[in-house]
A and B are shown apart, each in its own frame.
Chain A
């Protein structure tokens, strides 16, 4: 019994030890300390954060190790002895790893050997911080003690919380009462009340109107990008989420929209200087037509041809835009500058606030249209094709025409996003239309929940908003991104908000047509 607790502690400790060593080697210990500092409201970018925050960060890691190792009540005997042994050994082992790596690098540092030749993130400052500004020997002892202590303390605390009747029952009572009040008739009446709904809509609209004015240019930029990605996600969702046809080179249609708009409105290279709204329409139209042309020869085939062809199309467009051949027509790798902003009655609206409004309106319009499409006859035909194309055709659906319509609608939406993007930046170049845009859009659709409109909003915020909020972790964005995707696919393979079939919700519907009962 006792040995199995120690055993588990040792194993957990090794895992956490390796994680700590890795974090140290890639310089994440400094970033982590900086993040802790940020939580306490201390900005510390570009300088080593105070030791206090580093200690808190390491205590949190040690505590995590301790909690992870402590017994799981339903599977194992849950006793004080066991909890403390497991937590303590886990903390000690991870502390041992930390102490050894700290001692080694501390010695290197005091012998004036710079490890940055091989490990660019391990700066002398980060080593000093890892050793709490002490000599290597004392510092590593401190580290060992800190990790062991926090592992023990966390295991004890979690044991106490698990087994203390008063704490447990009061927690349960609290959560039950919250649930009861949410489920109670009064609350559900309030939620379902017509006026409350109008009021909340009004409040939502007020927030949308007020926020862009108050939170400043930086956040307008960040959330403008999120909005554009929401539009892209909604567009890709039509062909990939609903009709079930994978499109990898979705950025191609984005580029067609952006470049059509840019060439029509910019002074260079053609000096057409067209009106914003006319050019917007033409940009969307050009993207829709490009979708139609791509779809015509391949959509009567089944399988992943569309994915491959659009992938190729996206690369061709990007390379053409960069090439010398097209430079006289598309300004080549330099890109197109001075793209027009929106004008209404001759007055131009190009501030970041105006653009935020424009993007919000575009998101609302696209969301509304997407929602209407999903529940339409066409939407059902797409879903049928997605589920089984042969059967769909046997029920009289023109699969080719339906898929073609889905692809050109998708492309048109991407074109709209491209127009907004180019107009907001007043610039567009070939590098704005790299394949990474497509991959990001696919990821946000999958992470959010494929086929589900709220899921796409969530996915866009998670993938385009969060990284901006976590600027501190910029170097690790892709690392965190990858980990997030793996964790997501393990925990929620259908996305954060999986698509629900609405008819399942209303099990009591009497009318076979699914109208309101």
Chain B
């Protein structure tokens, strides 16, 4: 099992953000966490990547507990987070952003090869490689954020709201890219408010409500589930 999260309890001060969450992810899967604002989706990702510490519960990656491992070590083991809201280094160029993604790698020839493959996947980034990150369009910034994640050779990629604030066409493109990355062997844990798109590409999915998992199943099953349709897919 690639990732196993067990009865995770996370607090922000007095706020009980995650109230005992358990889920798992098999090698090669796309697993989606869907839910409304404030359900705790990003908290799950931040806990898996080590930026937040759980009060109780455990996170295991490739059968080793990582919930007390510092974030930089988790990155080295291959769990890479692409943070929410297209967080890139806006005052660094595209190239520099990608180099930062390979911060844990030191082989310069390898970094150059990785950058080349990112540029092959995202040709827009190649055109704009000497431009400051902050001057890119929203879609390009999201591509840069994902590209930066790929530079670190993820075995598990944590994607936080990749569709946020993008036009429908761009959302389609980004989800195609996510599927493509997955087909080349990277497992993906996807957090989304856009339940329709997320469930369409996910092998399995969990529905989060106020810090608890209230439902789970394959992406297709959940897409047909009346209560999911009612709550997250706009009725009917």
Contacts and interface: CB of A to CB of B under 8 A. Distances in A.
| Max chain A Cβ within 10 angstroms of own Cβ: one of B49, B92, B100, B116 | B100
Interface string B74-99: 01100011110001111111011011
Interface string B89-125: 1111101101111011000100110011001000000
Contacts of B103: 377, 380-381, 384, 395-397
A381 B70 CA distance: 16
B132 interface: yes
A512 B116 contact: yes
Given A380-B100, A388-B87, A388-B89, A394 B49 contact: yes
A449 to B, nearest CB: 15
A41 interface: no
A395 B132 contact: no
* Residue picked from B72, B83, B101, most chain A C-beta under 10 Å: B72
A394 B70 CA distance: 11
B129 interface: yes
Most buried by A among B80, B89, B119: B89
A165 interface: no
A45 interface: no
B132 A390 contact: no
A395 B148 contact: yes
A166 interface: no
Contacts of B51: 390, 393-394
B93 A391 contact: no
B130 interface: yes
Contacts of A514: 95-96, 99
Contacts of A509: 130
B152 interface: yes
A233 to B, nearest CB: 21
Contacts of B82: 394
- Identify the interface centre among B83, B116, B119: most chain A CB within 10 Å of its CB: B83
A390 B87 contact: yes
A383 B81 contact: no
A142 B161 CA distance: 76
A396 B87 contact: no
B71 interface: yes
Contacts of B80: 394
Given A387-B91, A387-B92, A388-B87, A395 B112 contact: no
Given A396-B104, A397-B72, A504-B132, A391 B87 contact: yes
Contacts of B98: 512
A394 B81 contact: yes
Contacts of B90: 387
A398 B111 contact: no
A381 B49 CA distance: 18
B112 A513 contact: yes
Contact of B112 (A383, A390, A396, A512): A512
Contact of B83 (A381, A383, A390, A397): A390
Nearest to A507: B130
A387 B129 CA distance: 19
B83 to A, nearest CB: 6
B72 A398 contact: yes
B74 to A, nearest CB: 8
A396 B72 contact: yes
A503 interface: yes
B205 to A, nearest CB: 23
Contacts of B91: 387, 501
A394 B75 contact: yes
A512 B72 contact: no
A228 to B, nearest CB: 31
Contact of B92 (A501, A507, A511): A501
B112 to A, nearest CB: 6
B89 A512 contact: no
Contact of A395 (B70, B100, B119, B129): B100
Contacts of A507: 130
A513 B108 contact: yes
A215 B221 CA distance: 86
Contacts of A383: 89, 92
A395 B75 contact: yes
Contacts of A377: 103
A384 to B, nearest CB: 5
A390 B49 CA distance: 11
Contacts of A398: 70, 72
Contacts of B108: 513
A127 B49 CA distance: 74
A398 B93 CA distance: 22
Interface of B: 49, 51, 70-72, 75-76, 80-83, 87-93, 95-96, 98-101, 103-104, 108, 111-112, 115-116, 119, 129-130, 132, 148, 152
9 contacts: A387-B90, A388-B87, A392-B100, A394-B51, A394-B80, A394-B83, A398-B70, A512-B98, A512-B116
Given A396-B71, A513-B111, A513-B115, 18 more contacts: A380-B100, A380-B103, A383-B89, A384-B100, A384-B103, A390-B83, A394-B71, A394-B81, A394-B83, A395-B75, A395-B101, A395-B152, A396-B75, A503-B130, A504-B93, A512-B116, A513-B112, A514-B99
